[in-house]
Chains A and B, each alone.
Chain A
Amino acid sequence: MSGAPALDVRGLLFAYPDGTQALFGIDLTIGTGERVAVLGPNGAGKTTLVLHLNGIHLPQQGSVDVGGISVSKANLKEIRRRVGIVFQDPDDQLFMPTVRQDVAFGPANIGLTGDELEERVSSALEAVGMEEFVDRAPHHLSFGQRRRVAVATVLAMRPEILVLDEPSSNLDPAGRRELADILRSLDITMLMVTHDLPYALELCPRALVMNHGSIVGDGPTVDVLSDEDLMRANRLELPFGFYPAEAMRSRGVV
């Protein structure tokens, strides 16, 4: 780790096999412990970028470094341990018959067994407040509970970077707040792809704006959200009656 940024993306280009260019040269550095929101309209390339962070897509040009090691075929195992992705639909992430087996899936893949594995499962579930559901079937949990377990399945691998794809989507307001409390309590570098701008403001001090496969904005979230021209140019809209600077003041943050 020594001094290397948590995430360092240099000149990343990517085109899908059908020729669609999805990323046009991404440059991005995220320091250890930062919480960063990735904003932008649908089709901006956010998910494509996310899939590069743990080597589901390998860089066609440019590089992705995680804590000083590069994302490449040879490093996949270590990269996937370091970068945990929470996907949008918890039903895609929770595929085992019980919560316990699902949370154990990742750590078991990196070779943990016995008490050590059990400890990973219980501490990850504790971090998201779901320890009493350990023997439940995922289908019998509420959507919000499933999302929290999905976060636990990734935390169990003790990643250095937690990547969340639309963490607040489909959650009811209380579930959304509960997840925010959990995410804020985690001491981990975090990258959050979201359309939920108040959520980004609440949780992430820094925000990136992506559009057409490039990063077109990068700065403190409150400034990004207050930049009307930038927002309009990238199909970003604040909810009715929401003023980022005032929201921050009312929270006593600024």
Chain B
Amino acid sequence: MSGAHSHALYVHGHSPIHGAAPQCKLAAQLLLVLIIVSTPREAFWAFGVYAAMVIGLVVAAQIPPGFVMRRMVFEVPFVLFAVLMPFLGGGERTDVFGLSLSVEGLWGAWNILVKATLGLAISIVVAATTTMPEFVRGFEGLHMPRVLVSTSSFMIRYFDVIADEMRRMKVARESRGYDPRWIWQAKAVAVSAGALFIRAYERGERVYLSMLSRGYEGTMPSVGEAPATPGMWAAAMLVPAAAAVVMTLAWVTA
């Protein structure tokens, strides 16, 4: 794969994780997150093992750790609530550095923080090693409905085209002295949005014509290459399988 499809979250590379079949990666990601979420929150050691696994994935994928850390910032607004829980929670309380905190709230905060962080880190690894077209192939490989697969594929293809059009319209507005400062000056923007919608609609018709011209008869041909082999699946499932063992042990010891 060339780096040319890179989206903002993609890190170009040739690691085994970059090379894994996208459907296997997506399935493994989902399983891994489900397993982590189902692990009892009291089993601290289990989360340590998971964290080691995720770090292992980052290393194997050759993603710069700094990149992962920067992307993790995304989590902050979502975990603010978790930080408040020990203060707002009810029930039994305990003193930490002179602060009176709810025990139940502390457990809740820990639970959310650790699971969200691990889940996000796994998503970052998958996003950093999978291009947009690979995601589409992955969805197809997982037998998502064709309509959804082709809709998402069109969306990916035309997002940039429409963003370009939008940019050109903005330049054209500003070139004629448009410099909105008040809400009632927003009309030009609203009208542009409408024009953009119509243009996109018309483009849709032209695209459809060009599809018909190449023999389209209502079903998209499969875009995928050969389906993933059992070997690929086995390799991808190694990590979730190991995590499943950890989870089982955590439940047994809990």
Contacts and interface: CB of A to CB of B under 8 A. Distances in A.
Nearest to A85: B213
Interface stretch (A27-35, A98-106, A181-189, A211-219): A98-106
B1 A135 contact: yes
Contact of B212 (A56, A89, A104): A56
A-side interface size class: 20 to 34
Nearest to A108: B221
Given A108-B221, A138-B157, A56 B213 contact: yes
Provide the main secondary structure of the chain B interface.
helix
Contact of A80 (B1, B161, B215, B223): B215
Interface in B211-248: 211-217, 221-223
Interface residues of B, number: 29
A157 to B, nearest CB: 6
B206 A92 contact: yes
Nearest to B206: A92
Nearest to A139: B160
A95 B207 contact: yes
Interface in B73-124: none
A95 B222 contact: no
Interface string A13-55: 0000000000000000000000000000000000000010010
Contacts of A104: 221, 223
Nearest to A140: B4
Interface in A61-116: 77, 80-81, 84-85, 87, 89, 91-98, 101, 104-106, 108-110
Given A95-B210, A105-B221, A157-B214, 7 more contacts: A84-B213, A91-B203, A92-B203, A92-B210, A104-B223, A106-B214, A139-B157
Interface of B: 1-2, 4-5, 132-133, 136, 153-154, 156-158, 160-161, 203, 206-207, 209-217, 221-223
Interface of A: 51, 54, 56, 77, 80-81, 84-85, 87, 89, 91-98, 101, 104-106, 108-110, 135-140, 153-154, 157
